[in-house]
A = this chain, B = another copy of it.
Amino acid sequence: MTAVTGIAGQPSGALLSQYRAVRAHSQALVQPLSAEDCAIQSMPDASPVKWHLAHTSWFFESLILGEDSSFAPFDSRFGYLFNSYYEALGPRHPRPRRGLITRPSLEEVMAYRRHVDAAMDSLIGRGRESIASRVRLGLHHEQQHQELIITDIKHAFFCNPLLPAYRRQPPAPQTARALDWIDHPGGVADIGHAGNDFAFDNEMPRHKRLLQPFRIATTPVSNGEYRAFIEDGGYRRPEFWLSDGWALVQSEGWDAPLYWLSDSDGCRSVFTLSGAVRLDPHAPVEHVSFFEAAAFAHWAGKRLPTEFEWEVLAQRFGPGEVWEWTRSSYDPYPGFTPFAGAAGEYNGKFMVGQLVLRGASSATPPGHARITYRNFFPPSARWQFSGIRLAEDL
């Protein structure tokens, strides 16, 4: 992960450039896709690409433009279609049925984006300070959906027996890296976001945590290391697994990370955004659930780091290749206060039954993530670019 630049505290000219850049990036992501590709939903957890494009526009419309009485919504029926989960903003189309919306067409959704962009351009141009923080929220929100566009189309393509590719160029081969460790003596540490830069409410308030001495690996677990776990019977030996994880291994027939393909010569190829390719043993393992991450760590005689351990050393090991499961449940920080208004539903209401992931992945837009960023998914989720970093007590 590069130094934190991103979308924060700019004057309005800078904010406008930022707005345009983020919005343009969403559309650039869609270039390789047909209208058909953009319409489908491969599972309830995923959404159609077209829906992401529309929802992110609806977000600006509902949270910012809606309070401008001169603004005319593009289509008054879109609120029902493209509200994701905001109870305060009215009823909505059931999530598992997002893939049934062939109308509006992709073309109409692009027109919707232009309609919103024109109004936002004008509004930001007027330089009203009161909206700046909401614009930044909307842009960070759109960046999150940029990553979801990638994860969701990857899953959708994987559901097609033809295994189509999103991009032509194959992943670059990686070089072997030795596993090394960084030690930490423990003690009181500052955790969470501070300052005027943008951050989500769930990263705040900055507060103190008491850590025990520990150490953390300098690199994420590689495909080759994970293969050794598989070859040692990792998916057949319950002693490594949390109880719910072992139940899933059995009910779902898991025997490798999501997207690993069974070749006649063993598990050596993998489905990627470039289609099926040979598995790179030196690349970080991706698309594992928390259960698999924890089982691997158990097998390796280590453990996963807590999100606090991760945060205090992240500057030193430099994350950003994969989202890294931590051993921390997604609980509120002490003194947590949700964003005001409807945006209060953004994060807080999901704080149960999920695990924190830290870092960023190859699918994360540049400048989006932070050291204090808290990503979160249920422990069974595998379609994100999620991997493993080991830790242990000292």
Chain B residues contacting A101 (CB-CB under 8 Å) are 160, 162
Question: Is A47 part of the binding interface, using a Cβ–Cβ cutoff of 8 Å?
Answer: no
Chain B residues contacting A37 (CB-CB under 8 Å) are 102-103
Chain B residue with Cβ nearest A336: B303
Chain B residues contacting A77 (CB-CB under 8 Å) are 161-162
| Candidates B35, B42, B327; contact of A35 at CB < 8 Å | B35
Number of copies: 4
Interface string of A99-112 (1 = CB under 8 A from B): 11111111000000
Q: Residue among A160, A207, A245 with the most chain B CB within 10 A?
A: A160
Is chain A's interface secondary structure helix, strand, loop, or mixed overall? mixed
Chain B residues contacting A35 (CB-CB under 8 Å) are 34-36
Chain B residue with Cβ nearest A42: B100
Interface residues on A, range: 35 or more
Interface string of A321-364 (1 = CB under 8 A from B): 00000011111101100000000000001111101000000000
Question: Is A179 part of the binding interface, using a Cβ–Cβ cutoff of 8 Å?
Answer: no
Chain B residues contacting A355 (CB-CB under 8 Å) are 352
Interface string of A354-391 (1 = CB under 8 A from B): 01000000000000000000000001000000000000
Question: Is A209 part of the binding interface, using a Cβ–Cβ cutoff of 8 Å?
Answer: yes
Given A37-B102, A81-B161, A101-B160; 4 other pairs, CB 8 A cutoff: A244-B353, A291-B352, A353-B353, A353-B379
A residues apposed to B, CB below 8 Å: 34-40, 42, 77, 80-81, 85, 87-88, 93, 97, 99-106, 156, 159-162, 164, 188, 207-212, 238-239, 241-246, 290-291, 294, 306, 327-332, 334-335, 349-353, 355, 379, 393
